[in-house]
Amino acid sequence: MTTAVLITGSSSGIGRATAERLARRRDLTVYATARNPSSIADLADTGAVTLALDVTDEGSMRAAVERVEAEHGAVGVLVNNAGSPQYGTIEETDLDAVRAQFESNVFGLARMVQLVLPAMRAARRGRIINVSSMGGRIVFPAGGYYHASKYAVEALSDALRFETAPFGIKVSLIEPGLIRTGFGAVAATTLAGAAAPEGPYAALNAAADHVMADYYRSRVFSSPPDAVAKVIERAVLARSPRTRYVITPAARALVQTRRLLGARVFDAYLAWQYRPGA
């Protein structure tokens, strides 16, 4: 029997690239999911099974997990990829938008874990791969709430890895840098929606928008979605997967710089990077 891989958020970007890559393997049965099934209908041509799954809807999550368990006994690999960005300063951003972000990025992820674990424990095996971000290790201005959601994913994954190890379940974090998906455009849109055009943070918001646009356009600082899909495939197949996979050279450099040089030096770097007119 093949191993069942359930991927959330497969309509675009990392989730779609992962579904396409894993569906090529004969030893895996890939269940690609999205809130709107029509957005992933074409993935059936790759060999993936397509399902509706909204990580903010309990019935939808239960139905998807029950479908996989009915056909395979247990979810063999859960790839928690679904999520959304909410950018804006801490003062200006509407907290209802922040709550909605945490529903998808944190609580939806946690609920998916809760739903797949009983059958995984009974099978005494399984893998949970949580897609975090380099933003779960470092923080950029005007992104505090998004980073907070990814820091939460990091903490949950660290606890989960220890709790589930006795049952043969392995947990890995995927920490991409800038990936050329629709994420940058959505982040810029949420930033524009949160910012007061003539408010006290206008210069910072303009700088943040400029920095994001420049870095997402750069082929040096950003990578295509398949760069992440390759690493997720490695985490799925490895006998002893790593606890963390930091993806892209720029992400590794930034994470190490922040770790080694501390907050003051990193803040100085950010002050230079986000200076007005930069």
Active-site residue identified among 150, 172, 222, 274: 150
Q: How many residues does the chain have?
A: 278
**At 177, is the secondary structure helix, strand, or coil?**
coil
Active-site residue identified among 31, 87, 145, 146: 146
CB 172 within 8 Å of CB 240: no
CA pair distance 278, 267, nearest whole angstrom: 16
Listed residue (103, 184, 113, 111) closest to 149, CA to CA: 103
Hey, how many other C-beta atoms are within 10 angstroms of the C-beta on 276?
9
CA pair distance 150, 153, nearest whole angstrom: 5
CA pair distance 144, 88, nearest whole angstrom: 8
Buried/exposed code over 102-124 (b: 16+ C-beta within 10 A; e: otherwise): bbbbbebbbbbbebbbebbbebe
146 labelled catalytic: yes
104 labelled catalytic: no
CA pair distance 77, 74, nearest whole angstrom: 9
Active-site residue identified among 10, 84, 104, 132: 132
151, HSE (Cβ side, Cα atoms, 13 Å): 10
150 labelled catalytic: yes
**Which strands sit side by side in the sheet containing 77-80, from one edge to the other?**
49-52, 28-34, 3-7, 77-80, 126-131, 169-176, 244-247
State how beta strands 49-52 and 77-80 pair: unpaired
CB 59 within 8 Å of CB 35: no
Active-site residues, by number, are 11, 132, 146, 150
